[in-house]
Structure 1
């Protein structure tokens, strides 16, 4: 008999199970059942990998287990006297693949059982990949709490049987380091909270018209466009962020937004501007523009290993192209108008990215203007129109949903309920077309946030979207208000873990409205 089947049969004979709607897990798993028994978690809890193809001394799994132990204690000293029975002694993790490369679409599913029979008592985690195991450990950490009476870590409502897998392979969060610089520690804090919420793509909008903060070895004067000498990222910093995220199951999607939003590029290389008096979009007539883009993407390919790269393409005001004599002459010589030139720029940069092994993400304006010309591997990033995603997938292209009225975190009037109820597949009924929606993304644009307020602006609203992207649609709350108690508890858990998540009441970034316990804010 297979181990998983034996565990299931053992669970079924234990009984005392209650309904899953009382479960305080965020996001809600695909399938969960539990009982009523209290267990104590040993202060010397150990991890084993019996039956696994992935050993417990591998860094990703070893580090994840240690982080889990730190989360369980929440900086309290678990120094109570352990009882002689009902003590969880270990966690056995069975990972079926020895590989740990974080590819797009990697299997993130897991099964977890915590029984109340057998000796010694242990949690059993089974996953195809180490990243599924990481998700299981995140769930396990939410089942445990520090009890101030026993001075021990306790786990209630055992036995547990959980089967889980994400609804969408792409569950993203955008941060913007061009409008305000974000220190590395701040970015890492965002990544930590993403892992707690089971978001798996950090979309790093690195540069924009205001600043160019990242080092590009091929063109070292580009970061002359940074705000200041200290508000910069070296390539080693970028590698550090990518590795930090990877250890937590989070991919990093890098973005350079072209041809618009690129004023800062010309501080170091003025020839990228159409002219000294008319400075963006980038000069479409100058081959050096595309040489620089090629250099950036070549350098990126050595650091950002995620299959996708974002090339922007939004909000392109072409006035400078027609107002600059040498570009106007180039347009005439090539029998182009500005719309033709916009298309030419986007398609040429797509080819450059593809030559470096990337699939390309572009903002939806590129699809709206010339969708039939885009490379067929293009992922269209929807942000404007609510009816765009159905058109994208009907055209056979992949889509990421980030409609600004629901999933833009800088819109402080958008409540967590708005985030929770936003459905990426709205208006898409054909199963084949639904599969082309690879997921969604909440966007933390940085015009009015910096390190001082980013966390409370992101959380807990991003976590509300995270459940929409992770949990099967039939398990989602039909009315967001019925998820309030679970999200409130998760928000308090984020606070306890050092993440400055704002109260649920009111709009985004709301302060507590009166004295009281965390869960009532």
Structure 2
């Protein structure tokens, strides 16, 4: 049926052109684009029995992180096809040797994620070489290696084109995040794990788990076991063991998991199990600032979290606090008067007291930008301000000497279905920040998948490929990023198709998030 093409689809067609067959292009179809990359013109065949070695490595891989990742990468390259062709007598890549210089395998914020990857065309045996300071750099190298390989339907072998390859790569920002929200809609553990797997393909490294909110409290808190009475149902919950499993799963893939409890607002569900957390039965949000029990519960949650979530940061929210319940509840109004506070003072008091609790458990704190906008000079100096509202906040944050994460909602909120991938790609975290010392205070950025209108049925196509567009902005050096996103349309289209081939329901590039394919045609032209 003939229909008018949308502008974005036309642009995609123009950018993609006729380069459908990867073997006849000279494009570097890696995503995100590495820091330095060069290649030749030789075709190699990947042995059906390709192996990984660690000669010269200081890392012992006792946890099997490298071994398991290598096997997953080999499976990704096969794409569930039967690799049953006959290996030729020459140009066969038989192995990958990985050299990791540090014996440490603890995933920490700011860990060295750089790597060097080379794929030669001479030598015997013919082996790719990976060199990294840490195992987590090596994991990124293996993901890059997997994108160089593809299943060829003629030879029925895995092939690697345009060898020799020499790649040197390091991330632009240490924090490259994706937020998921399990309060507005519950996400099964299997779905969360698949999101983590897909994050590794585009080198995102922080899963911001917005676990609880006003609508539901789905996670077990041993210190206060009635809190998860606020879950939607008995089946829509996470045990402590579930959380530990998710964190370990992510860490073994180089992804940190950061937990968030949003206080004092967004906490209606807390009072289902403990009604004394509510200001009153008729006015239930924010948490009762006058009741020490509120802070005892926060202390218990963060104490339990510290045994599960080992990432340097915890997110304490602090946004969208409507204080009318405080002034409208007699016992809180009396407490305010007795302590010579107005509601602004009480809001500050609640946030700062919560920060001290988190710090006592070994965390650095992240707060949404409202806390900075209202009392930035009072925040603990270790605070990271999470910018989501105003474009001019990040420059103000770093000028004040605080660290910042950028998630401006007009560009990097995935629940905004009219936000295009082009906008995700061109959104610059360092906009209007010219001083190098202040630029270093922007530790990175995050795309946010708020859950009001998504659940397990459509989360993947709502996240991808738009999150991948932001991932390149956060990984690749700014001088290698395209000013015009049309110049990367072809490469991102291929990456989106690769996600589809790997079983990820990434949506077509043309149109907005979750848009269905426009009409019959090859994947790269959707």
- Alignment TM-score, normalising by the size of structure 2: 0.95
SS in 2 for 1:466: helix
CA distance in 2, matches of 1:454, 1:132: 28
Between 1 and 2, higher relative CO (CA 8 Å, sep ≥ 6) is seen in 2
One of 235, 240, 250 as aligned partner of 1:230 = 235
CA distance in 2, matches of 1:416, 1:463: 9
Contact 1:47 1:56 in 2 (8 A): no
Residue 21 (structure 1) shift: 7.8
Residue 58 (structure 1) shift: 3.9
Give the CA RMSD over aligned residues.
Answer: 0.8
Q: Any idea what the Cα deviations from partners look like across 1:282-321, whole Å, max 9, x if unmatched?
A: 0000000000000000000000000000000000000000
1:78 equivalent to 2:113? Answer no
CA distance in 1, matches of 2:108, 2:235: 33
One of 433, 436, 439 as aligned partner of 1:431 = 436
**Structure 1: segments with no counterpart, 5+ residues:** 1-19
2:266 counterpart residue number: 261
- Map 1:379-390 → 2, pairs under 5 A: 379-390=384-395
1:66 equivalent to 2:65? Answer no
CA distance in 2, matches of 1:428, 1:510: 35
SS in 1 for 2:414: coil
1:23 equivalent to 2:7? Answer no
One of 349, 367, 384 as aligned partner of 1:362 = 367
Q: Any idea what the Cα deviations from partners look like across 1:319-368, whole Å, max 9, x if unmatched?
A: 00000000000000000000000000000000000000000000000000
Residue 509 (structure 1) shift: 1.0
1:120 equivalent to 2:122? Answer no
CA distance in 2, matches of 1:473, 1:217: 45
One of 97, 102, 108 as aligned partner of 2:107 = 102
- Map 1:480-499 → 2, pairs under 5 A: 480-499=485-504
1:445 counterpart residue number: 450
1:512 equivalent to 2:512? Answer no
1:323 counterpart residue number: 328
One of 340, 349, 353 as aligned partner of 2:354 = 349
2:11 counterpart residue number: none
1:219 counterpart residue number: 224
1:174 counterpart residue number: 179
- Alignment TM-score, normalising by the size of structure 1: 0.96
CA distance in 1, matches of 2:61, 2:90: 26
Distance 1:513 1:491, change over 3 A: same
CA distance in 1, matches of 2:128, 2:240: 40
- Map 1:97-496 → 2, pairs under 5 A: 97-496=102-501
Contact 1:48 1:56 in 2 (8 A): no
CA distance in 1, matches of 2:416, 2:102: 42
Distance 1:407 1:275, change over 3 A: same
CA distance in 2, matches of 1:192, 1:349: 33
CA distance in 2, matches of 1:424, 1:57: 38
